[in-house]
Amino acid sequence: MLHISDLRNNKNLIIERLKIKNFDCKDLLDVLISKDDERKILQQKSDDLLSKQNQIAKKIGELFKSGQTNEANELKETSAKIKKDSQELISLQNKIEDEIYNILVQIPNVPHKSVKAGASEKDNEILKEYGEKPKLFEHALPHWDLAEKFDLIDFKLGNKITGSGFPVFKGKGAKLQRALISFFLDQNINAGYKEYLPPSVVNSDSMFGTGALPDKEGQMYHISEDNLYLIPTAEVPVTNFYRDSIVNDFPIKCTAYTPCFRREAGSYGKDVRGLNRLHQFDKVEIVQIEHPKNSYTTLDKMVDHVSSILTNLELPFRVVRLCGGDLSFTSSLTYDFEVYSAAQERWLEVSSVSNFESFQANRLKLRYKDENGKSKLCHTLNGSALALPRIFAALIENNQFEGGIRMPNALHSYTGFESIV
């Protein structure tokens, strides 16, 4: 959530920058500033009434002491009227503040100056490609056929017990999945992240804190009886560890594995086949809480870290800077990582690494004390390190040979096998 003072002081700049996200906020800001002006007037009136009431209370005490009971009682009636007027003002002020709040939560984060305009993922900037695309033998299979051939995943069984988008991993497929989770966590721990195992269900305050609520696109699984939500990513519980907190030991580095749940409404076609898009999937997340002056240096380090994991997995990948139209509601700057799927002959997103600046921290009330002891908002960052489904897909597609599937060297000690045959 943006600061109302920033929106007032930098109105024209913010209007222009949010156009990069294809969001026209001019009318909203006009209403917001008008409401804030109204709030300030009401606040001043309320303060004046409180001052007047305090003066009358003091006078009443003096009158009673001097035996002027009638005059004191008359002033008590005046005081009661002022108190009633004050309560009405406070009620009106609360109503205006609610209206201001409801406008603020509609305004997305301002994109970083490096973010370029664009309508969709087609307009994202490809910054660099790493590794060589493998050349597969004739009649090489996509991962959904490999999974069936080598008995790694049962998509039909998942559909039977739950529905589409809930696969059942089995045998060496289940072991590879577990190996990837352990490998990712170890890589993150070795880079200085502290491991957590948080709940997969959170309350609405947690969802709001990281920007998952309001759920404008209807992507969240809601347990209505308890007003709880299945998490879309470990970012939600882990970042909320620090909700309503004052921290000063930077950086704070956390990593966590969780299952993740997304309705993925509107997804269809080839993009959802096999592991390409699921409703439940496994992901290892990295989260950092940083001092504002260091957050973009930290973002670069997080990008380098994710790059090193993909390099160790021997996967060809590229780094993409998202354009305004593809940038999330909460992010200032996001880099996507895409691995090349040789059998599908397409790039698959496996990670997003983002800086939210103070947008989430403002919702979370996550602060630090500056050198003068004044409370300031932290910056929050997170990234996937990594999301498993498309990594799994690319690994088995890219490493297939006519008799089986080779495992990358980095995973041998985790899987306990060097190939699947």
**Terminal CA-CA length for the chain:** 52
User: How many Å apart are CA 249 and CA 244, to the nearest integer?
Assistant: 16
Decide: 120 and 324 in contact? Cβ < 8 Å.
Answer: no
pLDDT of residue 270: 56
User: How many Å apart are CA 406 and CA 399, to the nearest integer?
Assistant: 5
User: How many Å apart are CA 252 and CA 249, to the nearest integer?
Assistant: 7
User: How many Å apart are CA 238 and CA 261, to the nearest integer?
Assistant: 16
Q: In the CATH scheme, what is the code of domain 121-420? A: 3.30.930.10
Six-digit token pair at 3? 């600061």
Decide: 151 and 170 in contact? Cβ < 8 Å.
Answer: yes
Give the distance, in angstroms, between the CA of residue 380 and the centroid of all CA atoms in the same chain: 9
One pLDDT digit (tens) per residue for the chain, 421 residues: 999 999 999 999 999 999 999 999 999 999 999 999 999 999 999 999 999 988 998 998 988 889 888 988 888 889 889 989 999 999 999 999 999 999 999 999 999 999 999 999 999 999 999 999 999 999 999 999 999 999 999 999 999 999 999 999 999 999 999 999 999 999 999 999 999 999 999 999 999 999 999 987 889 999 999 999 999 999 999 999 999 999 999 999 999 999 999 998 655 555 789 999 999 999 999 999 999 999 999 999 999 999 999 999 999 999 999 999 999 999 999 999 999 999 999 999 999 999 999 999 999 999 999 999 999 999 999 999 999 999 999 999 999 999 999 999 999 999 999 999 9
Q: What is the CA radius of gyration of the chain?
A: 28
> At which residue do the structure tokens 């045998």 appear?
171
- Give pTM, 2 decimals: 0.92
Residue count of the chain, please give it. Answer: 421
4-104 shares its CATH topology with 121-420:
no
CB atoms within 10 A of CB 266: 8
Specify the 3-state DSSP secondary structure of 120. coil
Q: Smallest Cα–Cα separation from 289: which of 333, 231, 248, 336?
A: 248
Six-digit token pair at 297? 């240096």
Would you kindly state where each structural domain of the chain is located, as residue ranges?
Answer: 4-104, 121-420
**CATH superfamily to which 4-104 belongs:** Serine-tRNA synthetase, tRNA binding domain (1.10.287.40)
Residue type, 201: V
pLDDT of residue 72: 87
Query: What angle, rounded to 10 degrees, do the helices at 11-19 and 26-65 form?
Result: 140
> At which residue do the structure tokens 């170890």 appear?
186
User: How many Å apart are CA 115 and CA 378, to the nearest integer?
Assistant: 22
pLDDT of residue 266: 56
> At which residue do the structure tokens 């009971």 appear?
69
Q: What is the dihedral of CA 203, 327, 287, 101, to 10 degrees?
A: -40
CB atoms within 10 A of CB 19: 15
* Torsion-angle region of 153 (φ positive above 0: left; ψ -120 to 50: alpha; else: beta): beta
Helix (H) / strand (E) containing 81 = helix 69-104
Mean of per-residue pLDDT scores for the chain: 95
User: How many Å apart are CA 136 and CA 138, to the nearest integer?
Assistant: 7
